[in-house]
Homo-oligomer: A and B are copies of this chain.
Amino acid sequence: MKRGIDMKNVKILKGDLVYALSKDNVMFIKDGYLVIKEHIIEGAYKDLPSEYVNEEIEDYTGRIIMPGMIDLHVHASQYSFRGMGMDLELLDWLNTYTFKEESKYNSLDYANKAYEIYVEDLVKSTTTRACIFGTIHKEATLRLMEMLDKTGLKTMVGKVNMDRESPDYYIEHSADDSVKETIEFIKETSRFENTKPIITPRFVPSCTDELMEKLSRVREEHNLSVQSHLSENKKEIEWVKELNRKAHSYGEAYDMFGLFGGDYKAIMAHCVYSDDEELRRMKKNNVYVAHCPDSNVNLASGIAPIRKFLKYGVNVGLGSDVAAGYSISMFKAMVDALQVSKLYWRLVDNSVSPLSINEVFYLATLGGGSFFGNVGTFKKGYEADVIVMDDTSIKCPYDLTLEERLERLIYLSNDDNMVAKYVAGCKVYDALGNVDENRSEEKEIILV
């Protein structure tokens, strides 16, 4: 005990610190110290404050310590066919590959086998938090959440709702059925500590007005967030117009049912073709865009003009969108976001300038992290999501600045460069295989 600080719950990490305070302001502290107290960031320092100098230090000297990555949009049930079958556009892709695969999760045995692969790989990835789609199956989605809960990663998971315009083998038989299952699903998730439910209408075409209305009430009663898809593909948008003639935009087709944020949080994946009306609505309702550049390329959807969204002040984070995206790596998502922004500038509109390294780093950390509350940076009061990256395997014949090392890490590292991962102050992955034994008792973190 020094100056009244209980050091029992203090962690001090030493290394090269990198974190974004805003999209225009990334901090670089060479040989710095990150102090974590009760799972919360106390501060990031160039020099260790005197009250900590006699405390034990986790020494990551020479390695880069940064906030954990946030995956705002991923389909765990599609991880099984990642890297395959990306030769079709959205609607054909859904009917040819995706619904068939998702229907298999009707079997809990299959779900066990498939979700185990996703969860194992997620633990080894740089992601600390994710917003995840399951399938329409309550039991399989709960099984996924059981697995996720044990990892210490923080996640929001949705049982998917679909009661129309879907194949016979993969549809819920009525809005009431869908809602009943959803309510049961939500109740059963109360036993989890690290994973929380989120309302997940697949997209407007899959949900009747009745289902949308009832889901909205469920959302309100349980005070949950929403995740769905928006304005991804031109044919999809035309179809939404046909299905809901009252809505002036795709976004309004959620908003008119109260499923588009406002006094609660909502994530909409893609927004490749969101027009000004839709963007204004998103800004007004504080909706989060999950930018999924890899997916948008693989399904030839197009390129979302993220620079515009940032100018509008719309919240943006990154999503892997597996399996339309082929990898769960958020480092790859940063590269993809950079790259497609360059092509948008070159091929679509040269008044929309490309994103910078600092901007995509912000999107992958604080940009998406704020969906989870105070998450995604090393400011005092933020939950301590931390990854430690070793870049020594990426050799260079001359000395690099920390800025250069971040850039190179984004482009060239893979999961094997990760030495350790902490979520809310608790070590959930260690390249040497050490994780905090008393993880689940140790802390008490409430997801938004």
| Chain A residues in the interface with B (C-beta under 8 A) | 80-85, 87, 110, 113-114, 117, 121, 297-298, 300-303, 326-327, 335, 339-340, 342-343, 345-348, 354, 356-357, 394-398, 400, 404, 407-408, 410-412, 414, 416
Contact = CB atoms under 8 A, between A and B. Distances in A.
A298 B342 contact: yes
Contacts of A85: 407
Contacts of A354: 87, 300
Contacts of A342: 297-298, 300
B394 A300 contact: no
Most buried by B among A117, A297, A327, A414: A297
Contacts of A301: 346
Most buried by B among A87, A121, A343, A412: A343
A80 B343 contact: no
A84 to B, nearest CB: 5
A256 to B, nearest CB: 30
B83 A343 contact: no
B117 A395 contact: yes
Contact of A396 (B117, B303, B397): B117
B414 A346 contact: no
Contact of A117 (B298, B397, B400, B408): B397
A408 B80 CA distance: 11
A80 B411 contact: no
Nearest to A404: B84
B303 A339 contact: no
A80 B398 contact: yes
A109 to B, nearest CB: 10
B83 A327 contact: no
B343 A412 contact: no
Given A117-B396, A395-B117, A404-B84, A343 B297 contact: yes
List the 3 closest A-B pairs by CB distance, nearest first.
A83-B411, A114-B397, A83-B408
A302 B404 CA distance: 25
Most buried by B among A302, A347, A416: A347
A412 to B, nearest CB: 4
Contacts of A121: 395
Contacts of A300: 342-343, 345-346, 354
A125 to B, nearest CB: 13
8 contacts: A80-B396, A82-B408, A84-B407, A117-B396, A298-B342, A300-B354, A326-B335, A327-B412
A80 to B, nearest CB: 5
A411 B327 contact: yes
Nearest to A401: B84
A381 B113 CA distance: 45
Contacts of A395: 117, 121
A316 B354 CA distance: 29
Contacts of A326: 335, 411-412
Nearest to A411: B83
Contact of A343 (B303, B345, B357, B398): B303
Given A339-B298, A397-B113, A82 B412 contact: yes
B303 A347 contact: yes
Contacts of A82: 408, 411-412
B412 A83 contact: yes
A354 B343 CA distance: 16
A84 B302 contact: no
Contacts of A87: 354, 356-357
A83 B346 contact: no
